[in-house]
Amino acid sequence: MSVLENIKESILASNSIVILTHENPDGDAVGSSLAMMLALKKIGKKVDVVIPSLNKMYDILPGYEDIKKYAEENDNYDLCIALDSADLERLHSCKEVFEKAENTIVIDHHITNQNFGDVNYVNAAASSTCQNLVVVIGYLDIAISKDIAMCLYTGILTDTGGFRYNVQIETFEIAAMLLETGIDIAKIYRNFFDLTTMARTKVLGKALDRLELLSNGKVAFTYITKEDEEKYDLMDGDHEGIVNYGRDIENVEVSIFVRQIDEKYKVSMRSNEYLDVSLIASKYGGGGHMKAAGLTSNMSFDLLKQTLVAEIEKQLK
Ligand code: 5GP
Ligand code: MN
């Protein structure tokens, strides 16, 4: 049986389904979760989406109000579907929900995916998990409504940085098909790329103030501290995009952005042309894509900075 047949059989045999995604969820994570929920509700399934913490910028997406913060204590799900998550650890506090479910499906587009489900649909050649989901929803014979299309388009738009990176011919074909449902693409673009808050703008200012160039100007580095987080009362997702400012400086190949979470550091890395940041992230317990990767580390701030810069220098031309 093909993977898609396995997915169909597993979904049709289940009544109670839970959908999970990675922590610090981005547009592809939230978009794919809501699109899957809306699609499965159309065929009469009981579906929960559990996301413990997410930015309120996602409130324009259909189904947002139905997102649960926690799985109910006594909810026993027949099936758990993990979306946009390369490994079990990425599910973070929802890991147990996944482990408790009778059957599991993983749908993703990360090259570093560990195939940790009973059935795994991992196509790393796709721009986004949402792009892969179009294929899955199509195979299930579920029509893509305007609401589902809005969620899917959001994931594709945000994961490709506005149709810039990792775009295939199918990405535009699928976008055209989604546009046919009548979605307002200008509204979606403004919501996820332009619209901001005072807190986000202030913290960006802090990060820009600290931005420095290392390794002969090839590496840009900046960070925000726990004190900044508290001062500006930041939410998950409020840091998205800060790493791009360093990457956009002329001659920079890699941009690093570090944020402090409790006693740990969460690192975001972006490269411009040739350097594979996913190799560095994977080496220190993280993962991602060639030009966008991340990790969480227990190292001290100084050692972490030194280690990352040394790893990058090994690859610099
Ligand atoms: P970001 O820097 O936006 O948090 O993440 C960039 C890319 O790296 C995303 O594709 C994300 O899934 C991946 N990524 C970020 N942090 C981690 C991590 O701790 N583990 C893994 N496996 N992937 C990560
Ligand atoms: Mn993604």
pLDDT block averages, 10 residues each, the chain of length 317 = 97 96 96 98 97 95 97 83 97 95 97 96 97 98 98 98 95 98 98 94 96 98 94 87 97 97 94 97 94 96 98 97
Q: Which CATH number fits domain 198-315: 1.10.260.40, 3.30.565.10, 3.10.310.30, 3.40.50.1370?
A: 3.10.310.30
Task: Ligand 1: list residues with CB < 6 Å.
Answer: 86-87, 90, 112, 268, 286-289, 292-296
| Dist. CA 196 → ligand 2 center (Å) | 21
Residues of the chain with CATH 3.90.1640.10: 3-193
pLDDT value at position 72? 75
- In sequence order, the 6+-apart residues with CB closer than 8 A to the CB of 314 are none
| Spatial distance between the Cα atoms of 315 and 298, rounded to a whole number of angstroms | 24
Of 260, 263, 294, nearest in space to 277 by CA? 294
Q: Given strand 254-261, what is the order of strands in its sheet?
A: 212-214, 219-224, 254-261, 264-271, 292-297, 287-288
**What's the start-to-end Cα distance of the chain, in Å?**
46
Report how far ligand 1's centroid is from the alpha carbon of 150 (Å): 24
pLDDT at position 76 is: 84
Q: Which of 114, 132, 98 is nearest to 28 (CA)?
A: 132
- Please identify, by atom number, the ligand 1 atom nearest to the C-alpha of residue 22: 12
pLDDT, position 74: 66
**Residue listed under structure tokens 């030194």:** 306
- Distances 211 to 96, 214, 223, 234 between C-alpha atoms, Å: 39, 10, 8, 20
Q: Give the CATH class of 3-193.
A: alpha beta
Residue type, 94: C
Q: 291: closest CA among 268, 314, 310, 266?
A: 268
